[in-house]
Copies of this chain bind each other. A is one copy, B any other.
Amino acid sequence: AAQEAAVRAQAEAVRRLKQDKADPDEIAKEVAKLLEMKAQLGGDEGKPKFVLKTPKGTRDYGPKQMAIRERVFSAIISCFKRHGAEVIDTPVFELKETLTGKYGEDSKLIYDLKDQGGELLSLRYDLTVPFARYLAMNKITNIKRYHIAKVYRRDNPAMTRGRYREFYQCDFDIAGQFDPMIPDAECLKIVHEILSDLQLGDFVIKVNDRRILDGMFAVCGVPDSKFRTICSSVDKLDKVPWEEVRSEMVGEKGLSPEAADRIGEYVQLHGGLDLIERLLQDPKLSQNKLAKEGLGDMKLLFEYLTLFGITGKISFDLSLARGLDYYTGVIFEAVLLQQENEHVEELVGVGSVAGGGRYDGLVGMFDPKGRKVPCVGVSIGIERIFSILEQRLEASEEKIRTTETQVLVASAQKKLLEERLKLISELWDAGIKAEMLYKKNPKLLNQLQYCEDTGIPLVAIVGEQELKDGVVKLRIVATREEVNIRRESLVEEIRRRTSQP
């Protein structure tokens, strides 16, 4: 009864907050408390009612989703290994201060852990900052590594479009002092290889350089102090039209309309080597040291990409800005252009599936002496790719196997549990993937049905007669053919019949 009174009081508090049009976050918090109190109070059956769900913005992966996920991972890992990368892993949380001051305006999306005594911790926001911390901590100045792990952002989830609060990143980075644009070109080659390999349809990789952006801002008359915030505005151009971005620049951020209009002219430019050449001749840009450096390197990058034969999918795009604070040079982002599969009627707005760039200053932020380690890297955004492949699979009605079982050990008569256990143990010990039903006396029909349902291709059937004859009856599920195999040849026969050609 006391609990019920507490629930009523909380309900009243919520009502009042809503009436007062309080901060929505505040209201949400109190509503959550109310729901929890109600849940604890219990339901009709006197049993506590649980909110049976995963946290907001997260999801479980069932066996089918895992099968897709492992296919995608396998393609990505193959590519990373093909390029000679080592692999590392870091903890899911970092000291809070490790993440502080690395993400600019996005810092508010970091998940903090509760202060339970001891260190203040936060869940990692990406894999780049932990990588930089790892390099500085271990004084590594030279490494090519990949890292595949989950990262966490308290963002507004849009799950059907593959935007989650817990999501995988697949990162490949090259750290070290090298000749310009060689590692940068390899990162773009990797994005090209992975997106081609996964057959996600047509794509374009947009490329720009923070130095070109900064140079452009300078010649357009943006004051130095506004570079970052104007860069954030430009970053929105892939989602909102120029007019809106312009009014943000002029209205909210106090840029002069003339400067904004000059920016507007530049950011509509995109192209290839020809555009780079043209901008190198641009009377204003060519006078700016940063822009000139950036354009020179961009030209070199395009030469290397030409040798790789991938410039067809690369677009030098002056509207590309990338949100994160830590980039210092080349930046890029891969975008899927359309859904290739005609079975999927509704197009999914998937946007960017990979991104990255050069961040030469980040490791130095962790080094006590500020020693820099130049880095460039790429991050593949797996969740959006999953969304596409999942929907494609559903539409195609392709049956996907979720186990690799080669043979079901079955019996035709009763009282053969011991014989099944003996046989399956022999098969496991020989490395055969085998299952049996966990019943003392399963019906043969049920055993065969299990194979149909799960895609097991073979059934090894033991019966009184077979035991006497020293054979096992091997049934091929697809053709219903049955052959007697001598027990000592069974393993070999199963291997032969299930080996991938």
Contact = CB atoms under 8 A, between A and B. Distances in A.
Given A60-B90, A189-B425, A189-B428, A51 B95 contact: yes
A39 B176 CA distance: 28
Contacts of A52: 133, 136-137, 366, 368
A72 to B, nearest CB: 13
Contact of A58 (B84, B93, B111): B93
B50 A366 contact: yes
A119 interface: yes
Nearest to A402: B86
Interface in A373-429: 402-405, 417-418, 421-422, 425, 428-429
A193 B54 CA distance: 34
A179 B193 CA distance: 50
Contacts of A405: 84
A43 B370 CA distance: 12
Given A52-B133, A179-B439, A63 B45 contact: no
B94 A55 contact: yes
A88 B62 contact: yes
Contact of A118 (B56, B433, B439): B56
A283 interface: no
A206 interface: no
Nearest to A44: B368
Nearest to A91: B58
A87 B60 CA distance: 11
A432 B45 CA distance: 63
A121 interface: yes
A438 B53 contact: no
A183 interface: yes
Contact of A53 (B95, B176, B182): B95
Interface in A170-211: 174, 176, 178-179, 182-183, 185-186, 189, 193
Contacts of A431: 82
A434 B79 CA distance: 11
A83 B428 contact: yes
A47 B364 CA distance: 11
Contact of A421 (B28, B29, B55, B307): B307
B98 A32 contact: no
B91 A55 contact: yes
B370 A29 contact: no
Contacts of A189: 425, 428
Interface string A72-87: 0000000001111111
Nearest to A142: B438
A77 to B, nearest CB: 10
Q: Which of A32, A116, A402, A438 has the most CB of B within 10 A?
A: A438
25 contacts: A26-B117, A32-B119, A36-B120, A45-B368, A45-B370, A47-B369, A52-B366, A54-B91, A55-B94, A60-B134, A63-B86, A81-B433, A82-B434, A83-B433, A84-B434, A93-B166, A111-B114, A111-B116, A112-B114, A112-B116, A113-B113, A113-B114, A114-B115, A178-B438, A193-B429
Given A59-B91, A114-B115, 13 more contacts: A32-B118, A36-B120, A45-B370, A47-B369, A52-B136, A84-B433, A86-B403, A91-B166, A112-B116, A182-B417, A182-B440, A186-B438, A309-B425
